[in-house]
Structures are given as structure tokens and as C-alpha cells.
Amino acid sequence: YKSAPFPIVGASEAPFTGVFDGNGHAISNFSYAAANGSDIAVFGLVSGTKATVSRLTLVTPDVQVSAGQHVAALVGRLEGGRVDQCAIDGGQVSAHSQVGGLIGTNNRGQVTACTSTAQVSGSEHTSELIGFDSP
């Protein structure tokens, strides 16, 4: 996606509250770069008890947000929703805080049968799978 920044699905003013079933498909080479920001990923903010992202793989994503928080490849911030059977296959994610390969911040969401092999870097709360997990 070269001509303009990727249109992130779900933000604080309009969270993703629906159901997305990737049906086992993969997205390759997702790329996003910015100097700062929050809730950055393919799905920026997933919120609500019925909100679900499932059965999707990202292959070699590259997400770089220098001063960002709640940053990941798939879901920037999960608020009470669900992520199921998703994977991050390689790639890299870099931001300031709450940085994860799969999910940047999980706040009372449910994550099941997910994996990540992304290289993750940041200053605070970083992890290959979920950067900051708040049960």
C-alpha cells in the first residue's frame, strides 16, 4: 500500500465492533510507518463483547511507529473483544510502548490459539505476542 497510509480498521472515535473471519487467508507484506500514533495495526481498536477477529495470518508485516503506543501487526488495542486462530509469520513491529507482534494492548479481551514470530522492539511493555496484557 504505497500511495497513502493504510486505512486502519477501527479507531478510538469508531472502534471495530463487528466480526471478521479471515477464513484461513493470509495478508502478505502489510506495511505501516508513522512518526507517532496509537491504536496502530490492521485493526486499530477492536472493542465490545461480540467484536471478533479470527482465522487470519499476516506474513512478514512491517509496522514502525517511533513514538507510538498500542501498536502491533494485527490488533493495536483489544478492549473486551476476541482474537482467535490468528498468526503473525515473521516481520517486525517497532514502537515506544505496548508493542506486540499480534496485539499491542489486551484489556480484558480473549485471545485463543494465536501465534507470532515477529521481531518486536520498544521501550516499554513489548512482547512477540501481546505487548501489554490486562486481564
Over 70: is that where the pLDDT of 2 sits? no
pTM given for the model = 0.95
Residue 64: per-residue pLDDT: 95
Q: Is the dihedral of CA 106, 120, 11, 35 positive or negative?
A: positive
pLDDT tens string 37-81: 999 999 999 999 999 999 999 999 999 999 999 999 999 999 999
Over 70: is that where the pLDDT of 4 sits? no
Question: Can you tell me the distance from the alpha carbon of 128 to that of 27, in angstroms, rounded to the nearest whole number?
Answer: 18
pLDDT tens string 107-129: 999 999 999 999 999 999 999 99
Which cell goes with 122?
520498544
